[in-house]
Amino acid sequence: MASPEVQETTSLFNELKKAVDDYDDERSLDICNKLIELSPQDQDALQCRIVTMIRLEKYTDALTAMEKLRGADIDLRFEKIYCYYRTNQLQLAVKLLDEVKKQNNESQALMYLEAQLLYAQDRYQESVEVYESLLKTTDPNDRVYGEIQVNLLAAKAGLLFSKSGKNKSADVNSTSGVDLYEVAYNVASVYLGRGELEKASEYLEKARRTDMSHEEIDEELAVIATQLAYTYQLQGRLDEAMEIYESVVSSRVNDESINAVVANNIVAIQKTRDLNDAAAKLKVATSQEAQAKLKPYQKRVIALNETLLQLHMSKVDAEALERVVPGLKRGYVRKEANSGRVQKPKTKKKRSPLMPKNFDPSQTPDPERWLPKRERSTYRAKGKNKKAANKGPQGVAIAGGGIGGTGSANITGYTNLSPGEPTSSKPQTSPNTAAKNSANKKKKKKGGKNKW
């Protein structure tokens, strides 16, 4: 007969099987904890506990539990990759995935996880290729086939919305199961990415009318409603779009990405009507939680709207702009409310050079213009100082200049007339008379004022 411990363990495993079949994950986790208390090294209980944590979206707790089982013989690498993916630790997930692929490259579960990782890294084209190869090897009657189809459409829509999505001919005609709201939603997203707004709104309306469980209706319907409102917004049906956005806001959906998109789109409709309200809404869209869930193309649009709003509100961070573009100089200094008067920087005026009067740039200036007038070659003294007036530069011949010239010297200053020259009829004054006249003149000047 089995021991009581073995009997209790068997009974707990039976309860665990029933809870798993009923998708009662909370009950399954409690039973796993009881099994581990009875047998801490029970590998089945340990593995089941980690899988149950993943089903309950307790990914961090699952990673912590797997770290404690590092030395065990349980292969939990697939579960660890999935937890890395769900906690946005993509580099660790890719690194571990490459290690596992070297040993088992044909696993469909591994290919499915690889496609999800590629999608999370915005490598939409590669994700589409992996999903398409999975569809070819999966039975259409299998439950996983529909999930692959939904994810394939999501990857195609992401490819169209991204910059790399140049090919707008994504095929959606072969899509089956359009009655499922996930498929209808993703088909609508593909049409939206291709710019076919009428077909997009048609499929979104179909997704909105599809029956969903009570647990799904709030969150999933909010996603569909937000996409439908965005389609109306692109069509210019702003009142209808605004009505849907307000209904999503009033439903208080606990999804940061939906709230961020709705807040951004409302700001885009309202534009500059109420800048303070727009700033409050964009604060929701730029929160850390929302940024972690948004796609890059969504982040670009929100960042653009935030920049435009700051420009309208005159909120310009000059230091941040200088850091982005080094080498810029400040064109102005913003005056704060409590700061003193901002002094303008003094500017030095550049004076034009002074030119002399009557300056003619076409003529060569006099090289002696810097010398004093007395030292210039063209200087002539004024007044009756004959001696000074008769002085000239070296080499100039002056009449009556003294003895030593060629021929006879004119000592008295008389000019020798040639025989042929006519003479004046005026009688010549004797030398004695001329001397007396000059003496009289000198005496007369003695009593008067000297000009100089």
pLDDT (tens digit per residue) in 275-318:
888 888 888 888 888 888 788 878 888 888 888 888 887 776 66
- CA angle 435/441/446 to nearest 5° reads 130
The total number of structural domains in the chain stands at 2
Residue 65 lies in a domain: yes
CB 31 within 8 A of CB 19: yes
Q: Residue 405: pLDDT above 50? A: no
Residue 450 lies in a domain: no
Q: What type of residue is 277? A: D
Residue 128 lies in a domain: yes
Q: In this predicted structure, what is the pLDDT of residue 328?
A: 54
Residue 130 lies in a domain: yes
Reported confidence tier of residue 129, pLDDT bands at 50, 70, 90: very high
* Short-list 306, 314, 299, 266, CA closest to 283: 306
Residue 420 lies in a domain: no
Reported confidence tier of residue 249, pLDDT bands at 50, 70, 90: confident
Residue % of the chain over a pLDDT of 90: 12
Start-to-end C-alpha separation, the chain = 156
Q: Which long-range contacts (CB under 8 A, 24 or more apart) does 332-338 make?
A: none
Measure the CA–CA gap between 229 and 204, rounded to whole angstroms.
Answer: 10
- Does 83 share its domain with 102? no
- Does 1 share its domain with 72? yes
Reported confidence tier of residue 222, pLDDT bands at 50, 70, 90: confident
Please provide the size of the chain in residues.
Answer: 452
More confident residue, 447 or 111: 111
- Does 8 share its domain with 84? yes
Instruction: Tell me what the pLDDT averaged over the chain comes to.
Output: 76
- Does 103 share its domain with 60? no
Residue 413 lies in a domain: no
- Does 50 share its domain with 118? no
* Short-list 65, 117, 111, CA closest to 89: 117
Measure the CA–CA gap between 255 and 221, rounded to whole angstroms.
Answer: 12
Reported confidence tier of residue 320, pLDDT bands at 50, 70, 90: low
- Does 48 share its domain with 82? yes
Residue 132 lies in a domain: yes
- Does 84 share its domain with 106? no
Q: In this predicted structure, what is the pLDDT of residue 452?
A: 43
The pTM of the full predicted model, rounded to 2 decimals, is: 0.56
- Does 6 share its domain with 81? yes
Q: Which two tokens stand for residue 112?
A: 């499915």
The position carrying tokens 């965005």 is 230
Measure the CA–CA gap between 20 and 32, rounded to whole angstroms.
Answer: 11
Residue 54 lies in a domain: yes
Q: In this predicted structure, what is the pLDDT of residue 417?
A: 46
SS3 358: coil
CATH number, domain with residue 4: 1.25.40.10
Q: Residue 54: pLDDT above 90? A: yes
Give the domain extent around 112: 98-137+144-159
Q: In this predicted structure, what is the pLDDT of residue 325?
A: 59
Measure the CA–CA gap between 160 and 224, rounded to whole angstroms.
Answer: 18
- Does 48 share its domain with 122? no
- Does 34 share its domain with 80? yes
Q: In this predicted structure, what is the pLDDT of residue 401?
A: 45
Reported confidence tier of residue 330, pLDDT bands at 50, 70, 90: low
Q: What type of residue is 246? A: E
- Does 17 share its domain with 81? yes
pLDDT digits (tens, 9 = 90+) for 94-111: 999 988 888 876 688 889
Q: In this predicted structure, what is the pLDDT of residue 131?
A: 92
Angle between helices 43-55 and 4-21 (to 10 degrees): 30
How far is CA 174 from its chain centroid?
41
Angle between helices 77-86 and 43-55 (to 10 degrees): 20
**Lowest-confidence range among 66-80, 177-191, 346-360, 423-437?**
423-437
- Does 83 share its domain with 112? no
